[in-house]
Structure 1
Amino acid sequence: MAVGCSTFAYLTIYSNTSGSIVGCVTQCVNMSMAIDEGHCSGKGCCEVDIPTGMTTATIQVATYLYCSYAFVVRNGYYLFSKDHLEKLPYQMFPVVFDWSVGNETCKESLSRGTNACKGNSTCVEAESGYGYRCQYNQGFEGNPYLHACTDINECDTQIHTCLSKDNCLNSIGSYSCFCPNGQSGNGSIIGGCHEKIHKNILPEIVTGAGLIAVFVGTCLLYLRYQKRKLTKLKEKFFKQNGGLILLQQLSTREESSRTTQIFTAEQLKKATNNYDDNLVVGRGGFGTVYKGLLENDKAVAIKKSKTVNPTQVEQFINEVIVLSQINHRNVVKLLGCCLETEVPLLVYEFVRNGTLFDFIHNENKRNNFNWENRLRVAAEAAGALSYLHSAASIPIVHRDVKSANILLDEDFTAKVSDFGTSRFIPRDQVALATMVQGTFGYLDPEYMQTSQLTEKSDVYSFGVVLAELLTGQKALSFERPEGNENLAIYFLSCLKENRLFEALQVGILNVDNKQQIVEVANVTAKCLRLKGEERPYIKEVAVELERIRQHLLLMSPSSKRYEHGSSSHQNTKCGSIGNDEEALLSLAYGR
């Protein structure tokens, strides 16, 4: 939770050896503006869920105005009030830890022999989806992590339901109630035992058979009822998620009807082996992505969102229609959707080689990611964004451009993905007022301050991706010196201090590509200008990057010399980046 005006709260989370950052930003122009009492809507107060699987968390907060607070609190405990902007009336908050053991599922840990559960206990999956817990079996007690649980003698502990201890017989994990010798009946209720009466059992057999027949018939009717109930529930979700609107739209758009497929819940459940955790290829704040295999052996990526806003169903259907019409080699293709579940499922083409983020920051992958590939990926991603901004039937602002949302196939071809937060901006509008959404480190500062989304917001985020490609640094890192946590600030300061070549990631610099790197840095600086109106359009960025790339291709003999070469220039003293250094800095700072 963050409370304050223009407050940025970050939660740095470490899981094993990797770290990530989540957070939120509050907006309020002054203390007199309308505030939603009791709600963290972003005006004076904002909130974000903590991801699962963390081992360590650190809170940091930054602000420009008034008092600010950031804290972790039990979900649903804190109610925001406007008075809290002046002083928060709490010293402490309750916190609940949803802990679990390890990072394996029960099935994985049992098959590998690493399961921590001792005898007479059961392994249960953690509700968070990360790790597992041990739970002693019914009728047993003890610590299932330390030793085998022991049997509870219900007869001695008086937790039985028998008439008395004398009518109770303990067994391993359970107990039973019996009647004294010579009597029969129910030993757990007063008057339940009675003298045995010998009589003809044939009527009892007939009665029993009749009861069994009634029971079987009732079960069949119940199963039929449940099937009809499930069918009606699917129909309800289909209508609720805009299925009728989608069918109507598809019938009027011939091109979309040929490319968009409406999948059934059973098809996607089968494709993902009932959403097996082993098939998860990505988790984010908006949902989980599974790898699936359709009946025709076609691999797909299935995105299962966490929530959907019922008031935005029509907009969601419009997004499905428009995205299904996008046919660009550098945009992940939307194949269809499923509307029979409570939350709609989106089905995309599957891109096998992972994300650009992995190839920049994973040392094993980075060794095969040379300057030529980096420049090509940058040009292709810029071309895809240019298509979304200019050539789509309705201009689309991606709103969450980052290296983790640029996928690479086996040939290192870029594929822009994840349109979960994208927005359509009609051609007669320049900006769109929205709640600020995106990823810290990539967010346009002007958008954060004004809440006015423009296509120049994507340009700034893409500038951060270019800086990431050049430096190999993460967009937001508290390992850098104070004041340089933000990559954009760090990169521009390197340009200002004439340290561009020192800031480059090891292995991409050589004598043949210095000029190309300076030109890409020039483009990056233009994208990172604080004022959106001073940034170039993404189409201009795409043209410039393609020009630089074509120049590199003309130098193919030289490029082959450094494609597999070792160029460790990190400790090399940085020379001048050119006679136009002052002009480059002017571009960076908008002067």
Structure 2
Amino acid sequence: MKPLLLPSSSIIILFFSFTLLMISIINIPTCLCEDNTQYANCSYAFKCESKIRNLKYPFWGGNRNQYCGSVAADPNTELTCERSVPKITINFAKYRILDWDNTTQKLTVARDDYSRGDVCTVNNNYQNSSFDNTLFQRYNGDVSTITLLYSCDAAPNSQNLFGRVDCGDGKYVVYTVVYAASGICSPSVIVVIPILGTLAAQLVSGNGLEDALKDGFDLKWTGNYGQCQGCIGSGGVCGNDGGSEFRCFCKDGPHTTSCTSKKAYSSGAKRNWRPIVIGALVAGLGVTMFFIIMLRRHFKRGIASKQMSIFTKRRKVVDHNVEVFIQRYNSSMPRRYTYREVKRITNSFRDKLGQGGYGVVYKASLPDGRQVAVKVLNESKGNGDEFINEVGSISRTSHINIVSLLGFCYETNKRALIYEFMPEGSLDKFIYKNGSPDAICNFDWNILFQIAIGIARGLEYLHQGCNSRILHLDIKPQNILLDEDFCPKISDFGLAKICQKKDSIVSILGIRGTVGYMAPEVFSRTFGGVSYKSDVYSYGMLIIEMIGGRKNYDTGGSCTSEKYFPDWIYKDLEQGNTFLNCPTITEEENDMVRKITLVSLWCIQTNPSDRPPMNKVIEMLLGPVSSLSIAPKPVLSPPEMPPLQVADMSSSDLYEINSITVSK
């Protein structure tokens, strides 16, 4: 009897799986970073359960270590939390923090001892509001001062420059906005406090003392915040070296000015990955040949059944390849958890955060108390290649606008990914909940603008920040997560494509992405090759959807050009109307929205070469609106809705489709 040879279909499957493994290994990004304790600590804002949730650099205190401030142990930048109110002490006077603007470094504060507006019940620790020898100075413009004169029995003068508060028992506090008390009385204590200039006029007429003290005044931090902005733009967080020197903390340790500058202290020599890649190729080839020989022996002995499904064989090959991948890169990958550990940290999968075609996301807590999100992948979806793809790409990125992968689990039919927890969830819940408290109309437009810039910086990092270029290919609201400060982070790299920077066009099988966000060239190669410009298109559609607060693609109606949302924008721009759904918006906010809208229209151009790269997008967003022109209207009408199985292709599903109908 002739020996049974390995069927040609099995050889094809083995070759395909081995090729995918080698491509994944060869194209691993070389920007390898490890979480740094300083980076992790300073990434979090000061926690105080108040509405002010963006208190980061130059502040420290509470959950933020001393090295997170501008100067270590500087008492003028230390924060405390008292009864859910953040407070700061500057030159021995304590203030309530009412607001903090990261963009202008404007700090609005009110004296804590006068926060009730009562000048009579202040304790004996009278302090003037002095800002000498500090980096906080009175904000230029709308700031005046009020002088309180204690134990002064003089009545207001005829020019109404003074007012008087009766404290009882024959005691009075006289106040003035123009101190000229000489010859009128001899006060025992004089307290000088800044106030908003808009309230000073009311005080001259003897009214508004309580409001002036409660509403506080504005200070400006005069430190070198531009240096900190450069650090944040490179994916780092700001801090100090334990003294007065600036440090940029990144996932691989502290740097002098940014994550691209030299390290602040010597670290080990850069690891040479070329021998590992070559070794992986040789070992992978040897493992594959060994596997083929073993299969042939099984066939010869008649052990292998002819009825064994292709899926089962492929599953074994993929499992084996995944294990090889994990073993080869174990030192540079996040921690591997057992399924039992995953079940324990999720409390037996009790707290579900969301569900999709990829599987289910649960809230969990690590043994050290950190909250995380665990994505348990659907057993029937994917074949392990997407798992390698996501772990191999995202675990080696380091940027403030890219979600961090903290661990993974891979066992037989059990796959899970453990990410940092994003308290505000995904961006889509703020877009689609019209009329609810979470609706995007209720966003401060500056927050919306910062979200748009953050997503752009994350994509620019993927395209240019690593030695290898990463194409996400599934940018949509569901894949943008928001932390407690509404800082956006790009997630879900299941469909990502890793390539060399010199490669302008990449090759992909079938269609990747979600209808409504896919670039024309992704669903039909007649529009050009797939490249990083495909992510630019998805970004443009995402930003348009953020502004409009409605879906780009109405699956419940016809897909004519009248239903295509960018058409509405062009009509409103031509007529000079505002296209926002929100009832109230200022002229300044409208200009801001107009700017990001014009930028997004350039991103959705049909021809990929007409779309700007992400670094140019950031430049346009930060530039003046007057420098932007209206992009030509795309000539492509929306595609006909494909059959049901491709109506929403999630990052865990890769469908092979030969053609798709396009309306022209």
TM-score (norm 1): 0.49
Using CA pairs below 8 Å that are at least 6 residues apart, which structure has the higher relative contact order?
2
TM-score normalised by L of structure 2: 0.44
